[in-house]
A and B are shown apart, each in its own frame.
Chain A
């Protein structure tokens, strides 16, 4: 028996060594990994003052090795069929994890119909992910882009195979999740690691707004304060942005799904079928949900142009013009949309305020950058 074990070990080591060089690929996909220490250490998410505690699912605790694995997967084109794109192709740190395009373009050069979404503070979105709310958790969401025909257009079995044969991923999966064999690498674990990386993407606390809230003596300009008051003022003839982009918990969204009046489809219930992108209605098949999209957070909003689910507005000026016009007619337009008048100066103030939500420190955080370019 003893001899057999030694023989087996010899063979597997040989096989491993033999293949190490070519193409990062190992011949054997069930390799014992128990020699590699598994010693998970908690990854502490540090949030600025008065942010809620980040909700972490019990079955996917944050660890330093899980975060690192997730970061690698997020930036690794191994997830796409032709190894040209990764999550980061459409979620770039320089755009607060958007691609700054009206709509994203996948590996086959096909333009999708929706704009990429910022991943800043994404861990706080614990339901209704995507513009149309079709995904419930980050773990569930992370599985989708890989097989989406106009995104990474790959297949999970193929990706998992590549990960199992990879030079470094098996060790990283072992360290992150304590698996004892390469054949325990699954798409679910990959998704968990991606979700851990994403939960770590929280505000730095260095936006002017957060510093004003948290640091005594740090002041906003008169114009910024005036903009904040306009933003918050819910009187009937004022912007009332907080009705949907709530300032509570600093997340600038109430995470509801609403029609904010972007399209004029006509006044009747039947007209609701005229939305080109039906949004929530596509998920629920309920005509009353057509044209409803999730209220996005406005943190880092100055860095994520163009705006709305289809990137129709290039600037924040255009966004405010849209809202002050009172929106376009459709049966289910949200009653919190209403026309208001701002002077040129007030409009500038409102935009100044939105700029206080800019968090470049977050975007430049070395821990969130591409690990393959270090």
Chain B
């Protein structure tokens, strides 16, 4: 793409095509489908964090007149350990199945054990008490450091740490150890004038989508089945469910409902295969909707982490060495986002000497799921806190320090490639010139600033653009629309077809109407699915030209297409797109274009946030008084929804930094599984979130797009954490900065 593209529709603030349904309550979400004869399923969950299951007796439940089916782990097909694509990474099928319904052990408070289907939701809930489970209690392992100890109780006796040259002699809670390095950190630290080294902790936090997981399913006698559910990736729901139930993909249709938030958490299966078992056994459609407490105790939080960061710097501000260590909780089964943590930790900096070590550790908490830039916020929090402290020590402006060391085109990353063109310097400059940074900090408040890096991903997207006989069209895509992406798809197709966006209707097809498409996650949709939309639309234009050329008896090269009109450059003829579509019947059949791509070249998006806080010295309560989020979008297709991503990410990060955390009692039981006690930010907690969109085009996307969904959740942890420390003149190490913790810091120094 060229640097200065002129756009007709891209960059406008159009009204989203699915908006009407969403403001009137007509849009159908996960829990909104009812089928004739439908019954309800409910899940029995473990009251214990760690126990062997001695026996499960379902006979009383099965005999009860209200109960129409009961499911346990035994109903899954016999499974072999096998890694499959799931969520934003891979998972072992056996672990997936054991997480849906426990096998011989419960591994966390809330672990599903059995499920019952009955005529009403209440009847199903009531009947759960008829299932008798005998447990042999085990000591719960609730903390990453405890879990790593030599004498720790081991969750899985067949788990041996991967990442060492020799297989360890003993099973361990450490699933994997990773080390990445470049240069020579020892030499780098020897060169440094100032070194800061600190330890940090971040809590277990939840994605907190407002819509609980929900599905309605049918299993027909001939083996054809259907799942309607709220998911970020219905093709992956199909793969995982078919695997654990031993089904052919052609027998299982998955329909993505509208989705009420996901943030990475709705990328894995929980109830879907269980509901299908219940449907098969009862011969009825089955609906399962989680209660809010089930969402907290049994679905994807993100990893609590313990981290260390050490950075050396010369007096002039040149960073000479960076070293990190991190241990991430995976929850009950291996697979924390430790790896992206290792890869992103120091990537905003151009430093030749870097060493990072990471551990993926199982504990007795629910299995973590992806959460917006999975793994990066924790690691980059540790790094940014230390960078800020170094700036303070040197008496250097924190933006200048970052500018001096900023990663740019050609910077070597720790994970292999050199960076292509990126916009960190531009974001830092925009931050420096922002009204917020230019304004004086109000008396008594604290200010913090942090940068964030996320790779962004591409991947597989399938799209078909079907033209109607009146010149309007349908964009058939496979990426669930979680935050307004239909609007972007519509605008990108409109840009190619040169007709108004409103004449194009984007729809999310089910798994039978398109080839495989990866889920919405990793900030890939506007980039990758957008690329497929552009390619499919270009194929439509090519056909339109060919048809017109045939009518005029010229070659397609002699035909021009602009503003929705084809013109014969060798004569006077012209036809509108609508006329070509209308005549398609006589020129070779209807017109459509498909593109099934595996997009490469996702451009990283850097973010820089600035935060001011006021701290109540008596209660320790922190108020964010001003906040600015700056981010490189490459090209903002719909600036309104890009700003929305920046603001939403910032506020989730603010919640994580200030209040959100799982609280467990000594038995490993979560004590705050509700929105009253797990406190996400409210409207009354926040100021307006100022945004600055920086546009450094990504050369690998026709319009320059970089994904914007994820980077925004990274900087808040460091920006807020540092601002709080700045306001109370203390060193913040542990998040969240909740009132009791801040008060303790104020009082104890």
Whether A associates with B in a native complex is no
